[in-house]
């Protein structure tokens, strides 16, 4: 293999080349057949097909099964500050179009924005980042100030950047876990690690240092709106409530009552605080309980609207069968509890529980519960979490609204 480009070159097999040509950015370790030069971990290398065709340039990491993460397919790109500035601006311009005027949203969604392994959520004046690839880790000193620059050029003040790198996935990249304020040269780190945001007219206190993931799940914003439209006058059971968001949206929309449940005492305390912040305590009751234990004890017809927003029951293809049994159990129990004409909101946030399999599970649960499902809406994650059709891993959230008949 010969090249005049400044980067080491990785040749991959036919299988990997086909996927790369279809637009997928990952090259796995077992797809590499030849190597020219000595790519450094976290540095750039070129990827070529068995016939020497240029497929892209990406970050190399010998510690990871994802050996190369392609960031560009343009052989003329120069990976300097202007390149990353354009990429950041492109992501920001997209958000301005699809979630205009929003105070909180996902600014960078990893591979979908061609920043592999990087998540950036904006909560009011705070950016919360999660860096899961070595290549991004090595350029964050360049990248993070560009994020601030892009927003502040449009008059959006950013007080600080907080890193939530407390995930074991980093260890697969040869990275250590850490959390804390990223040091910006022109401003001191804020004193508080919580911030108040507003979504759909509901106020939340977001603990971005200790909450799950980056502190708040922004991907369900429009699904919460859709769920709330069915709530007026109904008795709502909000399962896996976390910070209380689905229940609070329903209460604000005019539900007769809301019973919000989560297994964690900590998240129930957080949800109660959010409820008080919105003056909805007269409508919402909270309970720390295991949903799997609670649902079988309910009296049929006790609630006429049940919302199921569980955590990901599987984060691997190896455990998807067990996860499917869990999804079926809670959906079956909900369907058995609802009266005829009741309403069900149900979802899965696991990429490995694909949409076709999730739908088949719901059909099976409905048969066992001896009900029929009338589809109201089928939805996905919000547009600030964009899905690239050539990267299936970016498509993860399934959300369905049904009437049981």
Q: Is 45 a catalytic residue?
A: no
Name the nearest CA neighbour of 384 among 194, 221, 226: 221
Give, in order, the Cα–Cα distances in Å from 27 to each of 10, 17, 76, 90, 219. 10, 9, 21, 25, 28
- Residues constituting the chain: 405
Residue 10 has a pLDDT of 97
Radius of gyration of the chain (CA): 23
* Phi, psi of 105, deg, nearest 5: -170, 170
Q: Give the pLDDT of residue 1.
A: 44
Query: What SS3 class is residue 370?
Result: coil
Tokens 């050996």 correspond to: 67
Q: Around Cβ 281, how many Cβ atoms within 10 Å?
A: 13
The whole-model pTM stands at 0.94
Domains and CATH numbers, the chain: 9-72 (2.30.130.10), 81-192 (3.30.750.80), 217-404 (3.40.50.150)
Q: Which of 184, 190, 183, 241 is nearest to 212 (CA)?
A: 241
State how far the alpha carbon of 13 is from the alpha carbons of 7, 49, 100, 362, in Å: 19, 7, 43, 39
CA distance 136 to 147: 13
Say if CB 60 and CB 40 are below 8 A apart. yes
Q: What is the dihedral of CA 131, 137, 139, 140, to 10 degrees?
A: 50
Distance CA 338, CA 270 (A): 28
Taking each helix axis from N to C end, the angle separating 355-369 and 320-337, rounded to the nearest 10 degrees, works out to 40
| Tens digits of pLDDT across the chain (405 residues) | 444 689 999 999 999 999 999 999 999 999 999 999 999 999 999 999 999 999 999 999 999 999 999 999 999 999 999 999 999 999 999 999 999 999 999 999 999 999 999 999 999 999 999 999 999 999 999 999 999 999 999 999 999 999 999 999 999 999 999 999 999 988 999 999 999 999 999 999 999 999 989 999 999 999 999 999 999 999 999 999 999 999 999 999 999 999 999 999 999 999 999 999 999 999 999 999 999 999 999 999 999 999 999 988 877 778 899 999 999 999 999 999 999 999 999 999 998 999 999 999 999 999 999 999 999 999 999 999 999 999 999 999 999 999 999
pLDDT given at position 252: 98
Residues 275 and 283: their CA atoms lie apart, in Å, by: 9
CA–CA separation, 36 and 38 (whole Å): 7
The pLDDT, as a whole number, for residue 378 is 98
| DSSP output for 136-204 | HHHHHHHHHHHHHHHHHTTT----EEEEEE--THHHHTT---EEEEE--TTSPPPS-SEEEEEETTEEE
Catalytic residue among 239, 250, 347, 349: 349
The answer for residues whose C-beta is within 8 angstroms of residue 253's C-beta and 6 or more apart is 228, 229, 231, 232
Q: What local confidence, expressed as pLDDT, does residue 317 receive?
A: 79
Q: pLDDT at position 312, please?
A: 87
88 and 73 Cβ atoms separated by less than 8 Å = no
């Amino acid at each position: 293999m010969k090249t005049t480009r400044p980067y080491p070159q990785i040749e991959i097999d036919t299988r990997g080349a086909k996927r790369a040509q279809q637009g997928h950015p990952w090259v796995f370790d077992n797809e590499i057949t030849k190597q020219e030069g000595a790519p450094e971990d976290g540095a750039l290398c070129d990827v070529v097909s068995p016939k020497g065709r240029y497929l892209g340039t990406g970050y190399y990491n010998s510690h990871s099964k994802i050996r190369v993460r392609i960031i560009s397919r343009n052989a003329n790109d120069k990976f300097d500050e202007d390149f990353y500035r354009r990429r950041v601006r492109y992501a920001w311009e997209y958000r301005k179009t699809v979630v205009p005027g929003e105070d909180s949203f996902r600014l960078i969604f990893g591979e979908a924005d061609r920043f592999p392994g990087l998540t950036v959520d904006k909560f009011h004046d705070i950016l919360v980042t999660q860096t899961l690839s070595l290549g991004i880790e090595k350029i964050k000193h360049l990248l993070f100030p560009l994020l601030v620059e892009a927003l502040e050029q449009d008059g959006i003040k950013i007080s600080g950047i907080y890193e939530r790198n407390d995930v074991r996935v980093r260890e697969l990249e040869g990275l250590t876990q850490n959390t804390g304020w990223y040091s910006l040269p022109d401003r001191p780190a804020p004193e508080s690690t919580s911030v108040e945001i507003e979504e759909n007219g509901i106020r939340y206190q977001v603990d971005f240092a200790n909450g799950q993931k980056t502190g708040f799940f922004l991907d369900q914003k429009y699904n919460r709106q859709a769920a709330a439209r069915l709530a007026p006058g109904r008795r709502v059971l909000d399962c896996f409530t976390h910070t209380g968001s689905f229940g609070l949206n329903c209460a604000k929309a005019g539900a007769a009552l809301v019973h919000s449940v989560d297994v964690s005492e900590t998240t129930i305390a957080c949800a109660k605080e959010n409820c008080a912040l919105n003056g909805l305590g007269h409508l919402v009751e909270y309970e720390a309980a295991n949903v799997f234990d609670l649902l079988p004890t309910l009296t049929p017809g006790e609630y006429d609207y049940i919302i199921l927003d569980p955590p990901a029951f599987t984060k691997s293809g190896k455990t998807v069968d067990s996860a499917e049994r869990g999804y079926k159990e809670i959906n079956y129990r909900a369907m058995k509890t609802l009266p005829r004409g009741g309403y069900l909101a149900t979802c899965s946030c696991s990429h490995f529980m694909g949409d076709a399999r999730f739908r088949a599970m719901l059909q099976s649960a409905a048969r066992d519960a001896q009900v029929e499902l009338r589809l109201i809406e089928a939805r996905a994650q919000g547009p600030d979490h964009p899905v690239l059709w050539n990267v299936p891993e970016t498509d993860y959230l399934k959300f369905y609204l049904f009437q049981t008949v």
